Amino acid sequence: METIFTNCKVITGSEIFPGTVVVRDGLLKNIDDTFYHGQGAVDLGGDMLLPGLIEMNTDNLEKNIQPRPGVIWPSIMSAAIAHDIQITGAGITTVFDAVALGGLRESSLRTQILGESVEVLSSGNSLGIFKADHFVHLRCELGDAQMEKNLVRFGDSPKVRLLSIMDHTPGQRQWSDLSKWRQYHRDKRWTEEEAETIRCELLDRQKLFAGKHRKAAVAYARQRNIPLASHDDTTAADAEAAAKDHIRIAEFPTTLAAAGRAKELGLQTIMGAPNAIRGISHSGNATAASLARENLLDGLSSDYVPNSLLHGAFHLADSLDIPLYKTVSMVTCSIAEMVGLSDRGELATGKIADMLQVTLVGKLPVIRKVWKRGVVVS
């Protein structure tokens, strides 16, 4: 089956031009700067045509499993379907769903939903219930006593295509400022005494497990040739440790010093799109804009707001006077390269025909249609 899309602004990894795109059997077969005048073509009315977005780290599934504090949705499959609809509606056609191997405490939600989340995400595409392509991103919480055991248990799923190493022990990395850690967990309504007890418990767990579990996660990723990211690097030493472990991706570095050193060592850096749009980190850390100004930013993640991914790319282009094709690359082909997906992420001959029709309302990008392998999904 062949479909011709014409009268559109084609956004590739290196330029933007008015042209025509031909899709055949789910693949991009031809892209040129002509206007097709024949019958049967899809006239996009001068709108932009972008590659489908690629998201490498979102915990949006958790929001659908727990839509309000203390409310657990009775079906994780139902929650995953709702999540998929939100993802595709945001223009994301390939998503790496973040599933945490470990939580704040053994009774945490993340620990409770781990097994079923991996199972649902691993089976959803084969069952035909997802519109986007879903892969699993296992977030290895180094201080969790069961991390290595769970990595071995769930890491063999063919859908597991990315690992990250995390250490959310309060007092360092993302939580260098303890007041931000307390603010983040304010819904738990801890007393000062309870918070201090938990902090000491987490420090003890870090001392017992973090070093051992880091080695296990690095070895596991290397053995299976899975890309590995380092989460919330804060110091130059953190970036150096990541490079020593052959880690490819610096995920949400909290300081310019860490991001700069990561760049020197050849790591690719992503930041949160909500951070890019708001101009501030919810944890008081470095901003995406500050990294972009120093040419330290390679990609964006929607993190906790799916529709921020497209908006973030357009916002950076407008606010920092960066060519739009470059910021669109930060949510498409740059991410595809980081996670090892060579078949998508760009409007180029032979790639999968995942595409977005986008128009501007003022400065806000609005999605009109989303195609997955040439078929409308949203």
What does the longest C-alpha to C-alpha distance in the chain come to?
73
**Confidence (pLDDT) at 201:** 78
Q: How confident is the model at residue 253 (pLDDT cuts 50, 70, 90)?
A: very high
- The top-level CATH class assigned to 53-343 is alpha beta
Output the pLDDT for position 189.
74
**Strands 16-24 vs 2-11: parallel, antiparallel or unpaired:** antiparallel
Q: What is the mean pLDDT of residues 60-86?
A: 93
What's residue 106's pLDDT?
Answer: 54
pLDDT digits (tens, 9 = 90+) for 302-340: 999 999 999 999 999 999 999 999 999 999 999 999 999
How far apart are the C-alpha atoms of 335 and 1, rounded to whole Å? 29
Q: 203 φ, ψ to 5°?
A: -65, -40
User: Which tens digit of pLDDT belongs to each residue from 103-141?
Assistant: 655 557 777 888 899 999 999 999 999 999 999 999 999
pLDDT over 60 at 362, yes or no: yes
The strand pair at 48-51 and 2-11 is best described as parallel
C-alpha pair distances (Å), 19 with each of 31, 43, 48: 7, 11, 10
The candidate with the shortest Cα–Cα distance to 129, out of 66, 82, 170, is: 82
Q: Where are the domains of the chain?
A: 1-50+346-378, 53-343
- pLDDT for 172 equals 67
What is the arithmetic mean of pLDDT over 86-101?
A: 97
Domains 1-50+346-378 and 53-343 share a fold: no
Is there a contact between 96 and 56 (Cβ–Cβ < 8 Å)? Answer: yes
Which tens digits make up the pLDDT trace of 153-171? 999 999 999 999 988 777 6
Percent of the chain with pLDDT over 70: 96
Instruction: Give pTM, 2 decimals.
Output: 0.92
pLDDT higher than threshold 70 for residue 178: no
Instruction: Give the range among 172-176, 214-218, 228-232 with minimum mean pLDDT.
Output: 172-176
For 1-50+346-378, give the CATH class.
mainly beta
Confidence (pLDDT) at 204: 78
pLDDT of 282 higher than 70: no
Terminus-to-terminus CA distance in the chain, angstroms? 20
**Which residue has better confidence, 235 or 174?**
235
Residue 58 gets the label, from left (phi > 0), alpha (psi -120 to 50) or beta, of: beta
Q: Tell me which residue has tokens 């997906």.
A: 341
